[in-house]
Amino acid sequence: MKQPCVYIISNRRNGTLYTGVTSNLPQRVWQHREGIIEGFSSRYDLKMLVWFEPHTNMETAIQREKAIKKWNRQWKLRLIEQHNPDWRDLWADICR
């Protein structure tokens, strides 16, 4: 899935959330999972991909990421649970 995506990773159901944007979702999630990216995601052990949204271009993906980052926590939880009610790690889904 090498296209612009907005994504949310977590450490567990209802855990700490991180929202990001990337042009290569499998590579970026792998970096989070391996702890290669220093900072917030490695500090809180965020390795589960719980939500993602593909976009046709990076500009709209970045706009969406910025909007979601301004949301309150409940809105983000609702977004995740609308698409992934069991909080499955979607890593395998994007690696197919």
pTM of the entire predicted model? 0.95
Q: Which residue has the tokens 């890593």?
A: 91
Identify the CATH number of the domain in which residue 45 sits: 3.40.1440.10
Dihedral, CA of residue 26, residue 56, residue 12 and residue 18, to nearest 10? 100
Instruction: Per residue of the chain (96 residues), give pLDDT as tens.
Output: 689 999 999 999 999 999 999 999 999 999 999 999 889 999 999 999 999 999 999 999 999 999 999 999 999 999 999 999 999 999 999 987
Q: How far is CA 62 from CA 22, 41, 43, 72, in A?
A: 9, 19, 23, 18
Query: How many structural domains is the chain composed of?
Result: 1
Q: How far is CA 72 from CA 4, 82, 84, 93, in A?
A: 24, 16, 18, 27
Question: H-helix or E-strand containing 33?
Answer: helix 25-34
Q: Which residue range is the domain that position 26 belongs to?
A: 5-94
